[in-house]
Amino acid sequence: MSERQTVDETSTSPAETNESGGEAPSEPIQVGSKQELDEVVESYDVVLTDFYADWCGPCKMIAPVVADLAAETDAAVAKVDVDANQQLAAEYGVRGVPTLVLFADGEAVEEVVGAQPREQLEALIEEYQ
């Protein structure tokens, strides 16, 4: 982990997650590379990925919601700092933050840009579980 990780200091790393494809972790997983994101997406059926920036006000507003979703749903939640991972963000077409990409069965299936209400994110996750 780099010194830049300031959004959620309780985040786990992909190495600390359950690699068996079982129960998703109850805390967001801080992702630092394409390989790490690929590992998370392969390890869990449904993954909500939050592309954020430390300086982004709306990102800070939804951070507690994203953390709650990790704790309260069966989806894994990954967090990608777009400033530290510009190439990864570009690969997923991230042009604004926050951008949330939902993966189901290893494929990106949904993308929402901007702060979204908790209910909308829950419904999105439930649609693919």
Phi, psi of 57 (to 5 degrees): -60, -50
The tens digit of pLDDT for each residue in 30-80 reads 999 999 999 999 999 999 999 999 999 999 999 999 999 999 999 999 999
* Residue 19 CA to its chain's centroid (Å): 17
At 107 the three-state DSSP class reads strand
Structural domain contains residue 50: yes
State the distance between the two ends of the chain, measured CA to CA, in whole angstroms: 30
The catalytic site residues sit at 56, 59
Structural domain contains residue 3: no
7 confidence band (pLDDT: 50, 70, 90): very low
How many structural domains is the chain composed of? 1
Structural domain contains residue 7: no
Please check whether residue 46 is in contact with residue 106, taking contact to mean a CB–CB distance below 8 angstroms.
no
